[in-house]
A and B are shown apart, each in its own frame.
Chain A
Amino acid sequence: MINLKGIKKIYATGDIQVAALGGVDLHVGAGEFVAIMGPSGSGKSTMMNILGCLDTPTEGEYYLDGTDVAKASGDDLSVIRNRKIGFVFQGFNLLPRTMAVENVELPMLYAGVGGKERRARAIAALESVGLGERIHHRPKELSGGQQQRVAIARALVTNPSIILADEPTGNLDSRSSEEVMAIFQRLHTLGNTIIIVTHEPDIAEFTERIVRFRDGHIEGDELVKNPRKALGQVVEEEGV
């Protein structure tokens, strides 16, 4: 699924060169639920950008579904992101003044999915995260947890190879956080590959594998023995 070999990312500021990533090897198989952890400056954000094809490594190979995407650029990266990656961000990043269902339709718009199918799939995705009743709400009219669920619906609506979540609970209270993690866990049981970047150990405990970064290198890579089960009461109450 994901295969990284000797990934380096070097930022040049004038004469000084800073290696954000200094040769990272990582393999994530299909259906895994991984947390990437590390303090700020450890290179986990850079890792996230490269995994998400928002950025390309200075050196190294990145095989996503068997194709090397490390050398792709511009519009090719847009296509890869559109087809293979679903993003969930810390700040939700929904389009303001735009209905939930339209936000979820957005990636399919760029994928060239027809209007009717788009709407149907968007509604189905929103229902699967427990927001079937709120498809016409705008982000402002939704709570933080609900907004993040819209973002998750947007990420999974294209059936991506991986769902990448960057601090998905960073802006949420503990209850909403647990709800969101419950959704991720459920998506995982359905066979989705999920990678979460976080600095909160509590959140990482919900996943099955933790990869720790420090100073641009992988410091540790271990399986979580007993992943904590998130309580997704709200979702269940809404009958999903």
Chain B
Amino acid sequence: MNFLESIRVSLRALRANKLRSALTMLGIIIGVAAVIAMVGIGNGATASITSQIQGMGSNLLTISPGQSNNGGVNGGAGSSASLTMTDVSKIKIGSAIKAVAPMTSTSGQVVLGSGNTSASINGTTADYQIIKNVTITRGRFITQEDVNSSARVAVLGPNVVENLMGDANADIIGKNIKINNVPFQVIGVTTATGSTGFQSNDDMITAPISTIQARLIGNKTVRSILVSATSEDLMQMAQDEITIALRKAHKIPEGKENDFRVQNQADMLETMQSVTQTMTMLLGGIAGISLLVGGIGIMNIMLVSVTERTREIGIRKAIGAKGRDILLQFLIEAVVLSVLGGGIGIALGYGGASLVGKAFALDTSISLTSVIMAFGFSAAIGIIFGVFPARKAAAMDPIDALRFE
């Protein structure tokens, strides 16, 4: 019997038992759909985080406190509060560095009349506006003067305004709000960026760093310093200038490690991407297990099917089927089930991923690789889990098989 005839025989057998065929496929369908959807969503999350980081400002360098080394005990990254306002003044604006802004942040309860919300509060200087491309819809941003005089002024994100007054466009300029019971005058509202996720300006309050340090935090710490390089090509030069200036300011002898870290966007991107990639792999792995379970389901049903069709196998053998013919028939049945299931699973996974993408505003992308992999994997599952039942069928003795009731 040739191969084409074997396929026809197998398809006829599957069609003769539609419900069982469909249920058997279900395991593979769910497994493949899960893999496709999970990997798609994971890729979407990676893309979204990448664009968020890129949207944080161009040519951005972030200086953060490094490790403290006390008597050989390494306190880990960020363990020393080594940055001060003096450090900020040591980083000179020049050919490589366009703007420098210190950052400190806290969170607090914000009250305006009966309105009440919690928000994170950034303390910074006027240059922050340049570095982060902050635009103002109404009022103005904080100035150097505000910083010098520790003015109690605040620039609000549109979401904060909405939370306080019920409307993002409400007239709030000049009103006095209370942040952790300290009164601040609202001087401006930033333009809605529409971006969500971490560090979106829409949810923040920005105020002079001096005011925040004195009134809300109570110490002179600078959590990080943001530096904008004049161009992407000069990022490395800016990074070198910063390193030299801060090593000198911190009096670090040659041969000793920095007590601060200068990170560029690429580094951050890399870190975040490795996190999301791990997540994608994790999700894909869990989905992969369900695919494996689906494969075992196929084996299970095929084994039942072989037992149930013992008589059929006996008849076929009695009238001339060779072991190979029977093997091929059952193997093809298993492969058809898994490949068909795989195909449906890919379609479902694609649909599921785009649905989730719409619901969470994620740009889910289904890569061709994951489609090919899922398809190949399900075909392989069909073969691997089909071989055992098929061999069992092929090895049957026709006399026993015919006698089977």
Contact = CB atoms under 8 A, between A and B. Distances in A.
Interface string B312-355: 10111111111111000000000000000000000000000000
Interface string A166-209: 00000000000000000000000000000000000000000000
A79 B320 contact: yes
A72 B171 CA distance: 100
Contact of B320 (A74, A93, A97, A107): A107
A102 B398 CA distance: 21
A106 B324 CA distance: 16
Interface in B291-330: 311-312, 314-325
B359 interface: no
Nearest to A75: B322
Given A54-B398, A95-B312, A78 B16 contact: no
Contacts of A14: none
A87 interface: yes
A50 B321 CA distance: 18
A179 to B, nearest CB: 23
B5 interface: yes
Contacts of A106: 315-316, 319
Contacts of A89: 402
A109 B9 contact: yes
Contacts of B248: none
B402 A78 contact: no
B1 interface: yes
A78 B312 contact: no
Contacts of A52: 318
B88 to A, nearest CB: 83
B323 A111 contact: no
Given A109-B1, A109-B5, A109-B9, A54 B399 contact: yes
B70 interface: no
Given A97-B16, A109-B9, A81 B319 contact: yes
Interface residues of B, number: 23
B402 A82 contact: no
Contacts of B402: 54, 89, 93
Which of A52, A87, A112 has most B Cβ within 10 Å?
A87
Contacts of A58: none
A109 B6 CA distance: 9
A75 B323 contact: yes
Contacts of B398: 54
Interface in A49-84: 49, 52, 54-55, 74-75, 78-79, 81-83
A40 interface: no
B2 interface: yes
A87 B317 CA distance: 11
B324 to A, nearest CB: 7
Nearest to B319: A107
A159 interface: no
Contacts of A87: 318-319
Contacts of B323: 74-75, 78
Which of B12, B320, B323, B402 has most A Cβ within 10 Å?
B320
Contacts of A112: 1-2
B388 to A, nearest CB: 20
Contacts of A98: 12, 16
B322 A79 contact: yes
Contacts of B12: 98, 102
A154 interface: yes
Nearest to A45: B399
A13 to B, nearest CB: 15
A11 interface: no
Given A54-B399, A98-B16, A110 B322 contact: yes
Given A54-B399, A97-B16, A81 B1 contact: no
B304 to A, nearest CB: 16
Contacts of A102: 12
A74 B397 CA distance: 9
Given A49-B399, A93-B402, A95-B312, A110 B320 contact: yes
Which of B2, B16, B322 has most A Cβ within 10 Å?
B322
Interface in B354-405: 398-399, 402
Interface in A13-65: 49, 52, 54-55
A151 B316 CA distance: 13
Contacts of B320: 78-79, 81-83, 107, 110-111
Contacts of B317: 78
A124 B13 CA distance: 25
Contacts of B316: 106, 110
Contacts of B311: 93
A102 B315 CA distance: 13
A154 B319 CA distance: 9
A54 B322 contact: no
A54 B397 CA distance: 8
Contacts of B325: 110
9 contacts: A74-B323, A81-B318, A83-B320, A87-B319, A93-B314, A94-B315, A106-B316, A110-B316, A112-B2
Given A52-B318, A81-B318, A96-B16, 6 more contacts: A54-B318, A54-B399, A75-B322, A79-B322, A87-B318, A109-B1
The 3 closest A-B CB pairs, nearest first, are: A82-B320, A110-B320, A75-B322
